[in-house]
Structure 1
Amino acid sequence: MELSTAKYDLKHYANVYEPREDSFLLLDALELQISFLKTFKPLLTLEVGSGSGVVVTSLASVIKDSAYFAVDINNEACMATKNTARLNGCNIEVLNSNLIDGFKSCLFDLVLFNPPYVITDSDEYDRDIINKAWAGGLMGREIIDKFIERLPKILSKRGLCYLLLLKENNVHEIGTKLSGLNFMSQIILERKIIGENLLVMKIFREG
């Protein structure tokens, strides 16, 4: 495996989840794409909701010519991402912000997002800071839909996005929503784990 999981240490970050099956699925999807991504040569890369920082740091350790950014609404997750980057000798700019609110338009060639996708009550997301990592509200889509609506503003003209989803998020409807924003999408990896059917969607502009 060329794209190995980054070293991390979360003992000082009680409100940050350790990498789990969804994190590893996103890493495996990027591994499948690594030859393409090296040729693609993204200039600016962003992970939204970086959590432990394992995903963005693993990619930064392999594709070294991109400038890397990470954003998380949880300040502890931001500190954990910085620490993971430091442990692995990577330079990642980390911003404590909601989704992509802190960025201007049409910046990033590559965007990664493992969103809160679990189907919950709408108010579950705001009950605790750690809930923001997994509670997706109605259909698990409340944060995902907000992200998709903002995606045209932060992807460069050649930009790509890798988005992790739960099958029950209604993947077909998400594809239709993306099509309405002049994006194309394809599923590049799918995996069943206990209680969940997860997949990674690759999103890119038409043409």
Structure 2
Amino acid sequence: MTLDTPKYNLNKYPEVYEPSEDTFLLLDALEADTSFLLNLKPKIAVEIGSGSGVIITGLASLLKNSCLYFSTDINPQACLATQNTARLNGAPIECINMDLLLGFKNRMFDIILFNPPYVVTDSEELSGSGLNRAWAGGTNGREIIDRLSCNISDMLTPEGICYLLLLKENNPQEVVSGMKGLGFDSELVLQRKIPGEFLYVYKFFRRK
């Protein structure tokens, strides 16, 4: 199945990250994993930091109405943009303004999608909730990624999957090693070299 980029319009949302090569790589990873995702038969999925809403809407176009779809973003404009993208594509997605998944209580997901803020920056750039939060990753570009990793066991169902996009400068093997220590195995789904960046999409799942 071909996964086309969902329709979106960010004209009213200047503080929202425009879909770019990282967005399209994660969409391509979902397309490459279509058979796996359909066989997983997920009941509930979420995207962290949904921005434009293109990725979670793409997942919804793959899985149709067999699944409940949520997304979160710390940027209120991004939540509005995600809802608009969902509406443009007829996707049933609820977007909630929150940091990571901290607003969910006792809720676990079958699929977590995360294209995190991964650019190496000073930690001070992590403040606020505007456009800079879409890309500023702090030390090694890993500060937000590591926050997720520490809590992911409480977020995923026993059969749950997390798709995580990483930059070469994030030291992906350190992330893989850290997740292994938490009881998760990994699989490299796709990788792509683009001007100025080398990107990877990993799939994490509980060790059997």
TM-score of the superposed pair, with normalisation by structure 2: 0.97
The 1:177–1:154 alpha-carbon spacing in structure 2 relative to 1, beyond 3 Å, is same
Q: How big is each residue's C-alpha offset from its partner over 1:182-201, in whole Å with a ceiling of 9 and x where there is no partner?
A: 01112111000011000001
Write the letter of the residue equivalent to 1:32: A
Which residue does 2:195 correspond to in 1?
Answer: 194
Shift of 1:205: 0.2
Percent identity between the aligned chains?
55
Matches of 2:82 and 2:169, distance apart in 1 = 29
Write the letter of the residue equivalent to 2:200: L
Matches of 1:14 and 1:174, distance apart in 2 = 32
Indicate the SS of the match to 2:112.
strand
Match runs of 1:2-151 below 5 Å: 2-64=2-64, 65-105=66-106, 107-126=108-127, 129-151=130-152
Shift of 1:62: 2.0
Matches of 1:108 and 1:198, distance apart in 2 = 25
Which residue does 2:159 correspond to in 1?
Answer: 158
Write the letter of the residue equivalent to 1:90: A
Matches of 1:194 and 1:23, distance apart in 2 = 15
Write the letter of the residue equivalent to 1:24: F
Q: How big is each residue's C-alpha offset from its partner over 1:87-135, in whole Å with a ceiling of 9 and x where there is no partner?
A: 0001101110000101134510000000000001111121661110000
In structure 2, runs of 5+ residues without a counterpart are none
TM-score of the superposed pair, with normalisation by structure 1: 0.97
Aligned residues: 207
In structure 1, runs of 5+ residues without a counterpart are none
126-135 or 8-17: which moved more? Answer: 126-135
Deviant stretches of 4+, over 6 Å? none
Matches of 2:161 and 2:4, distance apart in 1 = 21
